[in-house]
């Protein structure tokens, strides 16, 4: 991968999806237009289609590959390398750095060998044990080295007990005579 074009590779990806109008959308728009015109609130520039079929998508594989190739190196060196390659004054450079923060836990603490994100430090998943959510990397708090998050296996749902049935939102044990 050519890291010198990282911002272009991540951002300049075509939009996905299609612009096909579905019958549901057509019915929704017709009903909305009728209601708005009868109530006197018809201002088309305020009405936005919520059910769009096209969406933006960033290609984050090269960024993850770049980070994966730098595992075991000091985070300060990795960040300074990215800062040199990206123009942080442009919107695309800032966007790549934003994605970088969404891929790397920077504020973690290790308690009894288990890695946790510090509460209030890294957004919506702060205070959680690492490995249950989407981020793949963290910066070791003592050494400052980029590390890989060890994934926790998903626990399968427990199978329901065949002797328990649900009646009126309450669980009851059901016993059978073997006679």
Nearest to 103 by CA among 129, 76, 66: 66
| 99-103-104-107 Cα dihedral, nearest 10 degrees | 80
At 124 the three-state DSSP class reads helix
pTM above 0.75, yes or no: no
- Token pair, residue 169, equals 């939102």
The label of the residue with tokens 């919107």 reads 91
Domain boundaries, the chain: 19-52, 60-148
Exposure of 130 in the CB half-sphere (CA atoms within 13 A): 26
pLDDT digits (tens, 9 = 90+) for 40-85: 555 554 555 555 555 556 777 888 888 999 999 999 999 998 888 8
d(CA 50, CA 8): 29
Beta strands 114-117 and 170-173: pairing type? unpaired
Closest CA to 82 of 167, 5, 24, 161: 5
Could you tell me if 71 and 147 are in contact, meaning their C-beta atoms sit under 8 angstroms apart? Answer: yes
Nearest to 104 by CA among 138, 141, 134: 138
Beta bridge partners of residue 172, listed in sequence order = 165
| pLDDT over 70 percentage in the chain | 55
Q: Is the pLDDT of residue 145 over 90?
A: yes
Q: Tell me the average pLDDT across 87-93.
A: 81
């Amino acid at each position: 991968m050519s890291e010198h074009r990282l911002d272009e590779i991540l951002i300049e990806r075509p939009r996905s999806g299609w612009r096909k109008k579905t019958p549901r959308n057509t019915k929704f728009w017709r009903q909305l237009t009728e209601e708005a015109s009868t109530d006197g609130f018809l201002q088309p520039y305020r009405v936005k289609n919520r059910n769009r079929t096209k969406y933006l998508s960033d290609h984050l594989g090269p960024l993850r590959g770049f980070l994966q190739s730098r595992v075991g190196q000091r985070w300060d060196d990795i960040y300074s390398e990215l800062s040199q390659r990206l123009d942080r004054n442009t919107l695309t450079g800032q966007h790549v750095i934003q994605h970088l923060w969404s891929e790397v836990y920077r504020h973690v603490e290790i308690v009894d060998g288990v890695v946790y994100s510090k509460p209030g430090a890294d957004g919506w998943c702060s205070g959680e044990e690492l490995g249950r959510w989407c981020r793949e990397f963290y910066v070791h708090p003592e050494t400052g080295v980029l590390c890989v998050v060890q994934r926790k296996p998903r626990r399968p749902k427990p199978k329901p007990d065949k002797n328990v049935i649900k009646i009126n939102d309450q669980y009851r044990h059901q016993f059978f005579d073997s006679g």
